[in-house]
Chain A
Amino acid sequence: GAVVSQHPSWVICKSGTSVKIECRSLDFQATTMFWYRQFPKQSLMLMATSNEGSKATYEQGVEKDKFLINHASLTLSTLTVTSAHPEDSSFYICSARDRRGAGIRNTEAFFGQGTRLTVV
Chain B
Amino acid sequence: GENVEQHPSTLSVQEGDSAVIKCTYSDSASNYFPWYKQELGKRPQLIIDIRSNVGEKKDQRIAVTLNKTAKHFSLHITETQPEDSAVYFCAATGGSYIPTFGRGTSLIVHP
Contacts and interface: CB of A to CB of B under 8 A. Distances in A.
B103 to A, nearest CB: 5
Contacts of A44: 44, 89, 101
Interface in A66-120: 93, 95, 97, 102-103, 105-114, 116
Interface string B74-107: 0000000000000101000110011111111010
A61 interface: no
Contact of A97 (B42, B97, B100, B101): B97
Contacts of B46: 1, 108, 110
A44 B103 CA distance: 8
A54 interface: no
B39 to A, nearest CB: 11
Nearest to A116: B41
Interface residues of A, number: 25
Given A32-B97, A103-B97, A43 B103 contact: yes
Interface residues on B, range: 20 to 34
Nearest to A112: B43
A93 B36 CA distance: 14
B3 interface: no
Interface string B1-45: 000000000000000000000000000000110101000011111
A52 to B, nearest CB: 14
B97 A34 contact: no
A49 interface: yes
Interface in A8-63: 32, 34, 41-44, 46, 49
Interface of B: 31-32, 34, 36, 41-46, 49, 51, 87, 89, 93-94, 97-104, 106
